[in-house]
A and B are shown apart, each in its own frame.
Chain A
């Protein structure tokens, strides 16, 4: 990233943000060509806030979450987590970031838990990975998520809701800068989902920052703010006029470009006239 651009990013990042991203682009190369999963996302995630990312399937929610959880690396753009730029870190440094400052929750409760560990051991393991296990914090978290009397139970002895609450406690132990959850209520009934989000709120009040993708209105309602993703771009939480007038897009190696979703309405016949002159390139309907 050029120095002037890095300075600009730094200026847009508030010191109260647990994480932020700027100009985030993610491209996957597949056998059939390039897939532009994220086409330039600017967003910040204030400390102690719950942010929901919503959008249709294939809109780039999971890609955004994986990058913000330091599991994946962006093709371009900058990602700050806990005040440090993680966008270009090598794999082993990103792993350390994940260990120390990020909590992650999968959609399926079973994916978050280890079958042979009981509830308390999950917190021991998660705390040790975070760099220092505090038994008092574990006791406190178990109490918060209502699993104190289930501390010695293994995952298969718990309900789906209890398993996901335990996963939440495991993700939140050690005071990570950011907890990322990928559709955490997708496999829960509405009551369990509601209960889980109440816990999320209570943890957020203690300063834990949450970022969650979801299709669930309960999660969206519980969030402090909601980001709408469509075709790899944010549709809301941005200056609508600027968003429509200037949108960052990516030209792939074959010369293809993905139009912003709003612009698609201008081309109902899916045909375009491209004019190249000294002022630039124009794309008009025929």
Chain B
């Protein structure tokens, strides 16, 4: 009985035994914390990415397109509106994920006139729309009392804020105060708030788009007062947006509910069906695309997460080996008493179970918190459950890895006991560096990326898992080889001069055990992953930005009407170009695009880099106007060739051209198409000579301008440039094309997300490497105390010793920094071309080095070096020299 009680008492102490070994406990819990973060990160990341993709698509369209849009038409009376509002409130109350509606009431055509000069009228559309006050560019006035008029309307009727105007709709006329004026919506790019109303801002007339009467905006009560008097019919619209914090799961549930609600709206016998004209939603379509994006990222993210788990589990194994090293004599004694690997592993598992479980749970909780606070989008509860499940599995595997490591290390039989041939095989296998197979796999991955592409899958932003695995293997293998080489080189170094710290640092680094080499390699891999992710992301973003500008031609391109000219003497960085897509070049009927340029202004507005093929002014100088109208037009041929006697064939007419310059890149070109650039005047004259006008040839004039669209467009408008609206019904519902928008492809976003995840793992790896260095310093602390005690007896000052420790650490971390960065840059250079998200459009991707990132890493390493050196020295100084020397024997 007493024996059993003693056994139970001892067993109860086992789960908390690591408390007696604080360094081991910290190592295990710290690694387990990161294990929890890594294990839970993949489902959380994918969930956040899915939600982010959904909201990005919602933002690209109309906020309510991702929610619910309900419309009706009829007399705009207070009772009628209130009844419908109640119906909708009751219907949408159970729909979680829908935000508060934007209610729009649009009256029928009205006129407005100044009360003091009623003879001059201007057409307006009375409008009430929730939140209009914060979505207009206010030019004068303020307050909610009264109506807001467009600047063009106010100018026409000659009113200012505070004046009274007469609003006439049908037979009814009401008087109202002018609250203020705003910039007419037809003169500026539409914001997402107004893009929903584009069909009430522009209309099509005779093939062109003309602005409709501006809105006279006022509050709902004032609008209802006006419309009640006129008793005319109007439009009612309720835009229910998808809430910005809606997760993909919430959106999916909402999509199903909306489908049910839409069925009720479609049933004319139902209350909803009889009360409203339509109820539409694009949520299901957007959900499909978002889910597809998430699925296509899953491979790469899963591979990275697996690599991260492997690294973390390896670190946990190192923590186990470290724990064994701290208790070597204990395990030696147990081995002598016949404790085998199963018992030793069992002990280790029991001891590690609680710390690992706590660490992993904390890591999982931290990941949940971090994704909630900093993630690209909200995560689903399903992802949270998945994260918890993966964390639990990781904890179990972590405990097993720790236990197996301890068992394998602690109870290993004496080497002499093994059979000779096995020892020989082991020795032979040990002679092959692990870097060789890793490098071979990395080379195979690189070959696959370069030959099969790493995501060039049509129809989706697929990112191959090799994109993440290649740098990990490549950087690890080459770093390992480099560190091996440097370790062999170090002993040959003869520190010059009489600097004792240098001498001690170099000697210590040269005599450092293999563990130090491993730590340098691990640090190099962590730094390498950070640098690889940073360099590649910067390079691809830079390349995409350049490609966007090449495709657009400049920072901004605005579609304008035919015959639009820049004001004479304008110094704005802008130019007018004539685009004629899909023109045949004969002989051969090769389809090309034609760009007519104004050589006098083109260079100041077009995007150009020296690497595109020489000087842009030099090229433009070659685009002269021929003396004779029938002479061939000198042209620049971009991305192709034309015969010597070539003609542009359009609408049955033939225009002779002559190639004077050939280049591969030119602003305004499209991917995979040949562009013919000509002087617009020469081209126009040649067409006229051939019996054709530019309009008839399908000319799409544009103004190209450099600078921020928000700044340059008002400047152009102020300079009197009429902005056309040819693309108002395009996907982005704006006549303005920007290079930034062109560069933001979903594939670039997918790669950027993947690289972001890689960098996050790199950061975690860096934390692991730092933990490893801390453990390394801890294990060597006794030796350092002895060496400091000896050195101080010989007169070495603490300051000099601290310097030597700092130099030693700087040597290790500096080596890791240089090796990791260099190899990562090389790795990025090898894959930057295949990863180019717009690969078919020049210019080719070039490496961009984010110097700020390098500076941040160097700063962090410096802080770690100095901080660690200070800590090591403090501990060495505090040690009892006599005790240290006695234990050292």
CB-nearest residue of chain B relative to A113? B333
CB distance A95 to B339 under 8 Å?
A: yes
Tell yes or no: A201 within 8 A of B by CB.
no
CB distance A112 to B416 under 8 Å?
A: no
Tell yes or no: A128 within 8 A of B by CB.
yes
Tell yes or no: B2 within 8 A of A by CB.
yes
Tell yes or no: B133 within 8 A of A by CB.
no
Chain A window 107-118, contacts with chain B (Cβ cutoff 8 Å), 1 for yes, 0 for no? 010111111100
Chain B window 412-423, contacts with chain A (Cβ cutoff 8 Å), 1 for yes, 0 for no? 011011001001
- Complex CA gap A69/B336 in Å reads 8
Tell yes or no: B330 within 8 A of A by CB.
yes
CB neighbours of A99 from chain B (8 A): 337-339
CB distance B337 to A104 under 8 Å?
A: yes
CB distance A28 to B336 under 8 Å?
A: no
Tell yes or no: B696 within 8 A of A by CB.
no
Q: State how many residues of chain B have any CB contact under 8 Å with chain A.
A: 23
Instruction: Kindly identify, within residues 317 to 358 of chain B, every residue whose CB is under 8 Å from any CB belonging to chain A.
Output: 329-330, 332-333, 335-340
Tell yes or no: B658 within 8 A of A by CB.
no
Instruction: Kindly identify, within residues 37 to 87 of chain A, every residue whose CB is under 8 Å from any CB belonging to chain B.
Output: 66, 69-73
* Also in contact, A116 and B6, with CB within 8 A (given A29-B423, A129-B339): no
Chain B window 33-75, contacts with chain A (Cβ cutoff 8 Å), 1 for yes, 0 for no? 0000000000000000000000000000000000000000000
CB neighbours of A115 from chain B (8 A): 20, 330
CB-nearest residue of chain B relative to A69? B336
CB distance B417 to A72 under 8 Å?
A: yes
- Complex CA gap A173/B330 in Å reads 18
Instruction: Kindly identify, within residues 108 to 148 of chain A, every residue whose CB is under 8 Å from any CB belonging to chain B.
Output: 108, 110-116, 121, 124-129, 132-135
Tell yes or no: A22 within 8 A of B by CB.
no
Specify which of A112, A116, A132 is in contact with B333 (CB 8 Å cutoff).
A112
Tell yes or no: A231 within 8 A of B by CB.
no
Min Cβ gap B673→A in Å is 69
CB distance A106 to B417 under 8 Å?
A: no
Tell yes or no: A96 within 8 A of B by CB.
yes
CB neighbours of A133 from chain B (8 A): 3, 6-7
**Number of chain A interface residues as a range:** 35 or more
Min Cβ gap B589→A in Å is 79
CB distance A91 to B417 under 8 Å?
A: yes
Min Cβ gap B238→A in Å is 71
CB distance B423 to A114 under 8 Å?
A: no
CB neighbours of B340 from chain A (8 A): 91-92, 95
Instruction: Kindly identify, within residues 83 to 103 of chain A, every residue whose CB is under 8 Å from any CB belonging to chain B.
Output: 91-92, 95-100, 102-103
Tell yes or no: B17 within 8 A of A by CB.
yes
CB distance A106 to B2 under 8 Å?
A: no
Instruction: Kindly identify, within residues 7 to 31 of chain A, every residue whose CB is under 8 Å from any CB belonging to chain B.
Output: 26, 28-29
CB-nearest residue of chain B relative to A103? B337
Chain B window 1-25, contacts with chain A (Cβ cutoff 8 Å), 1 for yes, 0 for no? 0110011001000000100100000
* Also in contact, A124 and B10, with CB within 8 A (given A97-B338, A116-B17, A135-B2): yes
CB distance A128 to B7 under 8 Å?
A: yes
Min Cβ gap B413→A in Å is 5
Specify which of B3, B20, B332 is in contact with A106 (CB 8 Å cutoff).
B332
Chain B window 651-693, contacts with chain A (Cβ cutoff 8 Å), 1 for yes, 0 for no? 0000000000000000000000000000000000000000000
- Complex CA gap A92/B417 in Å reads 13
Interface of chain B, main secondary structure: helix
CB-nearest residue of chain A relative to B330? A114
- Complex CA gap A204/B494 in Å reads 60
- Complex CA gap A20/B286 in Å reads 83
CB-nearest residue of chain A relative to B420? A29
CB-nearest residue of chain B relative to A120? B6
CB distance A126 to B20 under 8 Å?
A: no
CB distance A111 to B2 under 8 Å?
A: no
CB-nearest residue of chain B relative to A134? B3
CB neighbours of A28 from chain B (8 A): 416
CB-nearest residue of chain B relative to A35? B416
CB distance B416 to A135 under 8 Å?
A: no
Instruction: Kindly identify, within residues 395 to 440 of chain B, every residue whose CB is under 8 Å from any CB belonging to chain A.
Output: 413-414, 416-417, 420, 423
CB neighbours of A92 from chain B (8 A): 340
- Complex CA gap A133/B9 in Å reads 13
Specify which of A111, A124, A135 is in contact with B329 (CB 8 Å cutoff).
A111
Chain B window 537-557, contacts with chain A (Cβ cutoff 8 Å), 1 for yes, 0 for no? 000000000000000000000
CB distance B417 to A73 under 8 Å?
A: yes
CB distance B7 to A124 under 8 Å?
A: yes
CB-nearest residue of chain A relative to B19? A116
CB distance B417 to A98 under 8 Å?
A: no
- Complex CA gap A73/B6 in Å reads 35
- Complex CA gap A116/B351 in Å reads 13
CB-nearest residue of chain A relative to B335? A71
CB neighbours of B417 from chain A (8 A): 72-73, 91
Specify which of A97, A104, A112, A135 is in contact with B3 (CB 8 Å cutoff).
A135
CB-nearest residue of chain B relative to A167? B333
CB neighbours of A111 from chain B (8 A): 329, 332-333
Min Cβ gap A41→B in Å is 16
CB neighbours of A96 from chain B (8 A): 338
- Complex CA gap A240/B794 in Å reads 56
CB distance B10 to A72 under 8 Å?
A: no
Most chain A C-beta atoms within 10 Å of own C-beta, residue among B6, B335, B336, B423? B336
Min Cβ gap B28→A in Å is 16
Min Cβ gap B587→A in Å is 80
CB neighbours of A128 from chain B (8 A): 7, 10
CB-nearest residue of chain A relative to B339? A129
Instruction: Kindly identify, within residues 224 to 268 of chain A, every residue whose CB is under 8 Å from any CB belonging to chain B.
Output: none
Chain A window 185-196, contacts with chain B (Cβ cutoff 8 Å), 1 for yes, 0 for no? 000000000000
Min Cβ gap A67→B in Å is 10
CB-nearest residue of chain B relative to A180? B336
Min Cβ gap B6→A in Å is 5
CB distance A66 to B414 under 8 Å?
A: yes
CB distance A106 to B333 under 8 Å?
A: yes
- Complex CA gap A113/B417 in Å reads 26
CB-nearest residue of chain B relative to A70? B338
CB neighbours of A95 from chain B (8 A): 338-340
CB distance B329 to A110 under 8 Å?
A: yes
- Complex CA gap A113/B10 in Å reads 16
CB neighbours of A112 from chain B (8 A): 333
CB distance B414 to A71 under 8 Å?
A: yes
CB distance B413 to A91 under 8 Å?
A: yes
CB distance A129 to B7 under 8 Å?
A: no
CB neighbours of A29 from chain B (8 A): 416, 420, 423
Specify which of A98, A110, A132, A135 is in contact with B338 (CB 8 Å cutoff).
A98
Specify which of A108, A121, A124, A129 is in contact with B337 (CB 8 Å cutoff).
A129
Min Cβ gap A28→B in Å is 5
CB neighbours of A124 from chain B (8 A): 6-7, 10
CB neighbours of A97 from chain B (8 A): 338
- Complex CA gap A92/B17 in Å reads 27
CB distance B333 to A100 under 8 Å?
A: no
CB neighbours of A106 from chain B (8 A): 329, 332-333, 336
- Complex CA gap A188/B17 in Å reads 30
CB neighbours of B337 from chain A (8 A): 98-99, 103-104, 126, 129
CB-nearest residue of chain A relative to B3? A133
Min Cβ gap A217→B in Å is 23
- Complex CA gap A126/B334 in Å reads 9
Instruction: Kindly identify, within residues 672 to 730 of chain B, every residue whose CB is under 8 Å from any CB belonging to chain A.
Output: none
CB distance A72 to B6 under 8 Å?
A: no
CB distance B6 to A135 under 8 Å?
A: yes
Min Cβ gap B719→A in Å is 84
CB distance A129 to B3 under 8 Å?
A: no
CB distance A72 to B329 under 8 Å?
A: no
Min Cβ gap A40→B in Å is 17
CB neighbours of B333 from chain A (8 A): 106, 111-114
* A and B contact pairs by CB, cutoff 8 A, 6 listed: A71-B335, A99-B339, A110-B329, A111-B332, A112-B333, A135-B2
Q: Top 7 nearest A-B pairs by Cβ distance?
A: A99-B338, A98-B338, A104-B336, A111-B329, A135-B2, A133-B3, A95-B338
4 extra interface residue pairs, beta carbon distance < 8 Å, beyond A103-B337, A129-B337:
A29-B420, A111-B329, A111-B333, A116-B20
